[in-house]
Amino acid sequence: MRLTGHAPAWRLARMAGLVAIGAVVAAFLAGCGAVDTPQTMLFPRSDNNQAINDLYAPLTWLAVVIFIIVQGLLVYSIFRFRVRDDDDDSIPPQIHGNTRLEIVWTLAPSIVVVIMLILTYQTMAVIEADPPPDALRVRVVGHQWWWEVHYPDHDVVTANEIHIPIDRAVYFELESNDVIHSFWVPRLMGKRDLMPGSTNTIWFTPSEEGLYLGQCAEYCGTAHAQMRFHVVVESETAFNNWLERQREPAVEMTGDAAEGAALFVSRACVTCHTIRGTDAIGTIGPDLTHVARRSYIAGGILENTPGNVRNWIGDSQSLKPGNLMVLPVELSEEDIRLLTAYILALK
Amino acid sequence: MSDAAIAHEAPEEHPTSTGLNHRKILMWAFLGSECIFFGSLITTYLVYRGKSVVGPYPSEILNIPLTSVSTFVLLMSSLAMVLALAGFERAAGAAGDVERQQQELKKGRFWLLMTAVLGTGFLGFQAYEFIEFVHHGLGLTTNLFGTTFFVLTGFHGTHVGVGVLWLVSLLVLSYFGKVKPLDVELGGLYWHFVDIVWIIIFTLIYLIPH
Amino acid sequence: MATVTGVQTRERVSAGAAIWSWVTTIDHKRIGVLYFVTSLIYFMVGGFEALLIRLQLATPDGQILDTDTYNQLFTMHGTAMVFMVAMPMAAAFFNFLIPLMIGARDVAFPRLNAFSYWTFLGGSLLMHSSFLFGQAPDGGWFGYANLTSKEYTPGLSIDFWGLGLLVLGVASVAAALNFIITIINLRAPGMTLMRMPVFVWMTFVTSFLIIFAFPAITVALIFLEFDRLFGTNFYEVAEGGDPMLWQHLFWVFGHPEVYILVLPGFGIASEILPTFSRKPIFGYSAMVFAAVAIAFLGFSVWAHHMFTTGMGTIADAAFAGSTMLIAIPTGIKMFNWVATCFGGRIRLTVPMLFALGFLTTFLIGGLTGPMLAAVPLDLHFQDTYFVVGHFHYVLFGGLILALMGGVYYWYPKITGRMMSEKIGKWHFWLMFTFMNLTFFPMHFVGVDGMPRRVGTYAAGMGWDFWNMLISISAFGIALSVLVFLHNLVVSYKKGKPAGNDPWDARTLEWAIPSPPPEHNFDEIPHITHRDQVWYDKYGDGHGSAAELRKTDADADEQADEEHDVHMPNPSYWPLVVSAGLTIAAAGLMIHIAVAVFGVLWTVGAVYAWSLEPASTPSEEH
Q: Decide if A1 is inside a domain.
A: no
- Span C488-546, pLDDT tens digits: 999 999 999 999 999 999 999 999 999 999 999 998 999 999 999 999 998 865 444 44
Determine the average pLDDT of the residues in A39-62.
Answer: 94
Name which of A196, A177, B26, A301 is nearest C236 in CA terms. A196
The tally of domains found in chain A comes to 3
Provide the pLDDT for residue A29.
61
The answer to whether B63 contacts chain C (CB < 8 Å) is: no
Cβ contacts of A93 within 8 Å, gap of 6 or more: C279, C343, C542, C543
Question: Which of A284-288, B7-11, C42-46, C397-401 is the least confident region?
Answer: B7-11
**Mean pLDDT of all residues in chain A?**
90
- Span A239-249, pLDDT tens digits: 999 999 999 99
C243–A195 C-beta distance less than 8 A: yes
Provide the pLDDT for residue A6.
52
CA distances from C91 to B111, C215, C260 (A): 42, 19, 11
Please say whether the beta carbons of A300 and A286 come within 8 A. no
State the smallest CA–CA distance between residue B23 and chain C in angstroms: 8
Domain of residue C231 covers: 25-526
* Length of chain A as a residue count: 347
Asked if residue A232 and residue A341 are part of one domain, the reply reads: no
At C78, the pLDDT band (50, 70, 90 cuts) reads very high
The yes-or-no verdict on residue B10 having pLDDT over 80 is no
SS3 A150: strand
- Quote the percentage of chain A above a pLDDT of 90: 81
Task: Give, in degrees to the nearest 5, the angle at Cα C154 between C150 and C159.
Answer: 75
Q: Decide if A174 is inside a domain.
A: yes
- Span C426-467, pLDDT tens digits: 999 999 999 999 999 999 999 999 999 999 999 999 999 999
**Mean pLDDT of all residues in chain B?**
90
The tally of domains found in chain C comes to 1
SS3 C70: helix
**ipTM value of the model?**
0.93
- All residues of chain A having their beta carbon less than 8 Å from the beta carbon of residue C334 are 70
Q: Decide if C569 is inside a domain.
A: no
State the smallest CA–CA distance between residue A263 and chain C in angstroms: 31
Q: Decide if A173 is inside a domain.
A: yes
Provide the pLDDT for residue C616.
53
Identify the burial level of A207 via C-beta atoms within 10 angstroms of its C-beta, where 0-12 means exposed, 13-18 middle and 19 or more buried.
Answer: middle
- Span C552-561, pLDDT tens digits: 444 444 444 4
Q: How far apart are CA C450 and CA C452, in angstroms?
A: 7
Instruction: For chain B, list the contacting chains (3+ Cβ pairs, <8 Å).
Output: C
User: Could you write out the DSSP letters of every residue in C280-322?
Assistant: PPTTHHHHHHHHHHHHHHHTT-GGGG-GGG---HHHHHHHHHH
Provide the pLDDT for residue A14.
74
> Could you give the dihedral angle defined by the CA atoms of residues C83, C88, C89 and C90, in that order, rounded to the nearest 10 degrees?
100
Name which of C599, C586, C609 is nearest C128 in CA terms. C586
Q: Decide if C273 is inside a domain.
A: yes
Task: Give, in degrees to the nearest 5, the angle at Cα C131 between C130 and C136.
Answer: 65
- All residues of chain B having their beta carbon less than 8 Å from the beta carbon of residue C620 are 10-12
Provide the pLDDT for residue A8.
64
Name which of B175, B137, A88, B44 is nearest C215 in CA terms. B44
Asked if residue A142 and residue A62 are part of one domain, the reply reads: no
- All residues of chain C having their beta carbon less than 8 Å from the beta carbon of residue A94 are 279-280, 540, 542
CB atoms within 10 A of CB A334: 10
Name the residue type at position A293: R
- All residues of chain B having their beta carbon less than 8 Å from the beta carbon of residue C218 are 37
Q: Decide if A92 is inside a domain.
A: no
Provide the pLDDT for residue B208.
86
Provide the pLDDT for residue C11.
54
Q: Which residue of A has its CA nearest to C470?
A: A24
Q: Which residues pair with C206 in a beta bridge?
A: none
Q: Decide if A204 is inside a domain.
A: yes
Interface test with C, best of B20, B25, B33 (most C CBs within 10 A): B33
Name the residue type at position C241: G
State the smallest CA–CA distance between residue C182 and chain A in angstroms: 27
CATH number at residue C506: 1.20.210.10
- Quote the percentage of chain C above a pLDDT of 90: 89
**A189-194 and A181-185: which strand pairing?**
antiparallel
Provide the pLDDT for residue A22.
73
- All residues of chain B having their beta carbon less than 8 Å from the beta carbon of residue C241 are 48, 51, 144
Q: Decide if C160 is inside a domain.
A: yes
Asked if residue A50 and residue A116 are part of one domain, the reply reads: yes
Name the residue type at position A140: V
Asked if residue A259 and residue A243 are part of one domain, the reply reads: no
Name which of C477, C481, C463, C476 is nearest C57 in CA terms. C463
Q: Which residue of A has its CA nearest to C503?
A: A1
Provide the pLDDT for residue C545.
42
Q: Decide if A4 is inside a domain.
A: no
At B8, the pLDDT band (50, 70, 90 cuts) reads very low
- Span C227-275, pLDDT tens digits: 999 999 999 999 999 999 999 999 999 999 999 999 999 999 999 999 9
CATH code, B22-207: 1.20.120.80
The yes-or-no verdict on residue C548 having pLDDT over 60 is no
Q: How far apart are CA C490 and CA C484, in angstroms?
A: 10
CATH number at residue A174: 2.60.40.420
B11–C215 C-beta distance less than 8 A: no
CB atoms within 10 A of CB C278: 22
Provide the pLDDT for residue B9.
41
At B4, the pLDDT band (50, 70, 90 cuts) reads very low
Number of B to C CB contacts under 8 A, please give it.
108
State the smallest CA–CA distance between residue C437 and chain B in angstroms: 41
Provide the pLDDT for residue B210.
67
Q: Chains A vs B: touching, with 3+ CB pairs under 8 Å? A: no
Domain of residue A212 covers: 136-247
Q: Decide if C566 is inside a domain.
A: no
Q: How far apart are CA C586 and CA C161, in angstroms?
A: 11
pTM of the model: 0.93
Q: In this complex, which of A16, A113, A182 lies closest to C325 when CB atoms are compared? A: A113
Q: Decide if C563 is inside a domain.
A: no
Provide the pLDDT for residue C574.
95
Q: Decide if A3 is inside a domain.
A: no
The yes-or-no verdict on residue B13 having pLDDT over 60 is no
Determine the average pLDDT of the residues in A79-83.
Answer: 91
State the smallest CA–CA distance between residue C597 and chain B in angstroms: 17
Q: Decide if C511 is inside a domain.
A: yes
